[in-house]
Structure 1
Amino acid sequence: MLSSPISVAAPEPVCFDGTRLRIEDIAALARRERPAVLSAAPAFRARIAKGADFLDRLLREDGVVYGVTTGYGDSCTVHIPLDLVAELPHHLYTYHGIGAGRMLAPEEVRAVLAARLASLSQGYSAVSVDLLVQLEALLIHDVLPMIPAEGSVGASGDLTPLSYVAAVLCGEREVWFDGARRPAAEALLAVGHTPLRLRPKEGLAIMNGTAVMTGLACLAFERASYLSRLATRLTACNVVASAGNAHHFDETLFSLKPHPGQQAVAARLRADLASERPSRNDQRLQDRYSLRCAPHVIGVLEDALPFMRTLIENELNSANDNPLIDPDGERVLHGGHFYGGHIAFAMDSLKTAVANVADLLDRQLALLVDTRFNHGLPSNLSGATGPRAAINHGLKALQISVSAWTAEALKQTMPASVFSRSTECHNQDKVSMGTIAARDCMRVLELTEQVCAGLLIAARQGLALRGRVDPQQSLSPGLAAFAADLESRIAFVDEDRALDHDLQTLLQALRAQVWEI
């Protein structure tokens, strides 16, 4: 008898309807774990159309609206004849096509598109429903604008990088589609869409906002949150491998310094270090700071994350172009919501907290490979024995590379937000540098993930070697399962070998967040 096929529920879409979205929504959409859908609710679509209709009426009555009947930025005093108003949005994305640097990765581009769609869906940007549908189509069909990462000062928003989104919506420039770089018009045609002709203000609505920095910030937050938990698990491995003192994380001790994140890290360490092994009489009374104070270092990141979530999600759920159009009060609101100061602060702060975690792990590894501090393990955690031990060097080079990645991460922590530049004829005379801060943060995360991947190799090696020295050692269930998983992914280093393949294997697993910790 044939069994019935198993029904697998489709993932819940991320709905763009002006209601509040979370970081996890954007991250899941960016990883293609959940699809995007623009609300079809009549009330939502009527609200979007209401703003566009009001703007049309204002233009018919010869109203003056920045960026619609005037030039842009310092050129706001230049009057645009009504017969040229329709061309102005296309000039905006055209002259801003001056990006440089690497292209944003597909995951990053999806986050950017989602952040822009979230903002425009608030209903205060006077865009057409057709524009939102076109943005939705890019996400649904994975038509990804090729967006250069460099060229934004973070106010008036991410003008230059977002010009590549505006151009693609209009069938210009290039996209990544179906595994290849292709002309935008060709890709739009392939998914059943035609290029837009932007309505008045729609160029500003797409470009004059914080979508690039905010999209990157959503991804950065998720990666940092996972690194916090992984760094805690790695610390537990290093305490065991170096025969450290588990009592440094005592519950009563940590009740006396009530930082919630720090207490959470200590609680995770207590759970991981629970063991039937009796206390050693020769155990050090106090371990060095990189082990003993791990909750105090990782806990800073852990305590900062809820605050940073608030900053990022408030920006994500904001109307952040200029001017904003109030469709109910029928007012044009000229302001500066394109300013990315909150994201800049969050990213400058996050990269510093993450780099400190990289430094902590680097110090732990330096102790673990050194026979003066690792309590009986071989030099450089080499697994070679007998005469061949003389020519084997274990994890010596790994420790050097981890130190190099850490140094580069620490070097990147100079805050970008304090380097405001006066631009555009001193119209943009105080800018946020939020996108540079977000890019810096992503680089610090990349380097710290490499540090963690290196520490995963050391954890696999160190735990196995400690088992040789202390056969009676027992691990907590969580740590035992983690060690077994590492053993299934990479081989023990008994004879010198290149470790770059192992590093990349673990780095891929780390970024996929395969360990539930």
Structure 2
Amino acid sequence: MTDNRINVIFGENDLTVEDVIALSEQRAQPVLSGDRDFRARIQKGADFLDQQLRDKGHIYGVTTGYGDSVSRRVPPELVAELPLHLSRFHGCGLGDILGPEQARAVLAVRLASLCTGYSGVSVDLLNQLANLLAHDITPLIPEEGSVGASGDLTPLSYVAAALIGERDVLYRGQKTSAQDALATAGLTPLTLRPKEALAIMNGTAVMTALMCQAFVRANYLCKLTSRITALASMGLLGNPAHFDKRLFAAKPHPGQAQIAAWIEDDLSSLGDDYQPARLQDRYSLRCAPHVIGVLADMMQTFRKTLEIELNSANDNPLLDVTENTILHGGHFYGGHVAFVADGMKTLVANLADLMDRQMALLVDTKFNHGLASNLSGADPDRASINHGLKAVQIGASAWTAEALKQTMPASVFSRSTECHNQDKVSMGTIAARDCLRVLQLTEQVVAANLLAVGQAIALREKSGELTKEQLGPKVSAFIDNLKEDIPFIAEDQPLEGTLRLLVSRIQNRHWALYDEEIAS
């Protein structure tokens, strides 16, 4: 760890999506607020719960069984053991393990929620969660097993287990037991107080964390697909007038207008002597702001929804310490996050389709206005045996089809579970995982089109149809950067390694693009 990480303070101001990402990427470190009022509020919740137990209060999940077992009373002598049982019987997740960045995001989101002061947890629990982040102890969380209400119970049980020294974790990148990781880090396993396992597990932290990651990836794709559209327009000798700001003043969706303005600026150096091949380009060029712009315009809504969820109390029951009241409700239901995931994946899949259509034009001599077949850079006497990006375009079509297939909304597939107690559930975590899959596939299509536009620009430069001056300083710098990763394809060669590198660059938001933000 370096010492130049920023501090993200829990318990003072609301967290942003970017705070979660900074913590997940270890560009920030967690700090639990030392504010006296904050700490007093947390302590008051824990004290109120203790008082209720002394007064033999009837509290769901504290003096009762869980879910459909709510009618089962837990005798006082067993109350202390109940949280341990909740954490253990939910240890049945399957599927792939969330990556370290995803697990750190989960820890950050759960800590933010518990710091709202409605959950009746102790300061010790908050400190232990913060310490897992600070010491890079990440629970190994299986991604499958949550229906998104009653929250992310099964995946979050792996967080509860790590806090108490059970199951396995990654400690600074190495798999080890939670007990050993805590000991090595100088931490003591937590003893869960009444309700604390429920407070950790009964919430929307996994789906929200995954969608925070999806948010920044989608936001970057808005910018990158705008830049690629400008390059595709250059490669296809497209008409810059399609992006005139006067057009978008007549239909003033702000995100759409911003996308058009970026593309127009990228094309502004072409000059008065530039002659487009067509008066009106095909829709994948001409209507690109109308495709990308829908996602751009929805990003503000997605941010607002995710950040409300991130900074909310979303377990059950909640404790109102101002009126000493226990409130039994259903805030663990992940419907809002599910809607963001289902909506975002549809809009992102449309970007895959857009990029795929642009690439189809670029490789096809019937539509690419004089470029070589499949954008091969082979010399004429070797053109007959070279096939350029033919297979890459087939791959892009396959990835696009799979992305489009994944757009069926997960949130409508509610299943009645747990003896019909959880008879309407959100499927929010499945929706979030679907969204991440669509993002992955779309990023692969974007990588393929980066190959295509890079090769198209190189061919136009080689033929003298485009000059560095016509590209302009911003686009020219981007192309120069791109050339460090993308070889000029003169002879057929395997391109898997290049594609994988480009996907990694996209996911790491490698290229600086436009200064303006669409979802700040």
TM-score after normalising by structure 1 = 0.97
**Separation in structure 1 between the aligned mates of residue 462 and residue 174 of structure 2, nearest angstrom:** 51
- Residue 412 of structure 2: SS of its match in structure 1? coil
- Residue 300 of structure 1: SS of its match in structure 2? helix
- Residue 13 of structure 1: SS of its match in structure 2? strand
Equivalent position to 1:516, from 489, 499, 512: 512
The residue aligned with 1:151 is 145
The residue aligned with 1:371 is 365
- Residue 493 of structure 1: SS of its match in structure 2? coil
CA RMSD of aligned residues (A): 1.2
1:479 maps to amino acid: V
Q: Which runs of 4+ in 1 moved over 4 A?
A: 279-282
Is residue 2:476 matched to residue 1:480? yes
* Structure 2 counterparts to residues 45-194 of structure 1, below 5 A: 45-194=39-188
Equivalent position to 1:506, from 502, 505, 520: 502
- Residue 35 of structure 1: SS of its match in structure 2? strand
Query: Residue 175 of structure 1: CA displacement?
Result: 0.2
1:370 maps to amino acid: D
The residue aligned with 2:299 is 305
**Separation in structure 1 between the aligned mates of residue 104 and residue 372 of structure 2, nearest angstrom:** 47
Is residue 2:409 matched to residue 1:415? yes
Query: Residue 9 of structure 1: CA displacement?
Result: 7.5
**Separation in structure 2 between the aligned mates of residue 178 and residue 136 of structure 1, nearest angstrom:** 15
* Runs (5+) with no aligned partner, structure 1: 1-7
**Separation in structure 2 between the aligned mates of residue 442 and residue 92 of structure 1, nearest angstrom:** 29
Query: Residue 155 of structure 1: CA displacement?
Result: 0.4
**Separation in structure 2 between the aligned mates of residue 335 and residue 276 of structure 1, nearest angstrom:** 60
2:403 maps to amino acid: A
2:357 maps to amino acid: R
Deviates more, 1:174-183 or 1:230-239: 174-183
* Structure 2 counterparts to residues 386-397 of structure 1, below 5 A: 386-397=380-391
Q: Cα–Cα, structure 1 residues 282 and 269, in superposed 2: closer, same or farther, change >3 Å?
A: closer
Query: Residue 18 of structure 1: CA displacement?
Result: 4.8
Query: Residue 487 of structure 1: CA displacement?
Result: 1.2
Query: Residue 490 of structure 1: CA displacement?
Result: 2.2
Query: Residue 41 of structure 1: CA displacement?
Result: 2.3
Q: What does the per-residue CA deviation read over 1:144-188, in whole Å, with 9 as the maximum and x for residues that have no partner?
A: 000000000000000000001101111110001132211110000
The residue aligned with 2:236 is 242
- Residue 28 of structure 2: SS of its match in structure 1? coil
Q: Is the 8 A contact 1:393 1:496 kept in 2?
A: yes
The residue aligned with 2:430 is 436
Q: What does the per-residue CA deviation read over 1:47-78, in whole Å, with 9 as the maximum and x for residues that have no partner?
A: 11110001001100100000000000011111
**Separation in structure 2 between the aligned mates of residue 315 and residue 499 of structure 1, nearest angstrom:** 41
Query: Residue 279 of structure 1: CA displacement?
Result: 4.6
Q: Cα–Cα, structure 1 residues 330 and 237, in superposed 2: closer, same or farther, change >3 Å?
A: same
* Runs (5+) with no aligned partner, structure 2: 514-520
* Structure 2 counterparts to residues 23-34 of structure 1, below 5 A: 23-34=17-28
Q: Is the 8 A contact 1:18 1:122 kept in 2?
A: no
**Separation in structure 1 between the aligned mates of residue 437 and residue 464 of structure 2, nearest angstrom:** 40
- Residue 476 of structure 1: SS of its match in structure 2? helix
**Separation in structure 1 between the aligned mates of residue 131 and residue 444 of structure 2, nearest angstrom:** 35
Query: Residue 44 of structure 1: CA displacement?
Result: 1.6
TM-score after normalising by structure 2 = 0.96
Determine what percentage of the aligned residue pairs are the same residue.
Answer: 60
Is residue 2:446 matched to residue 1:452? yes
Is residue 2:492 matched to residue 1:496? yes
Q: Cα–Cα, structure 1 residues 340 and 97, in superposed 2: closer, same or farther, change >3 Å?
A: same
The residue aligned with 1:21 is 15
1:261 maps to amino acid: G
1:168 maps to amino acid: A
2:244 maps to amino acid: D
**Separation in structure 2 between the aligned mates of residue 419 and residue 472 of structure 1, nearest angstrom:** 52
Query: Residue 472 of structure 1: CA displacement?
Result: 5.0
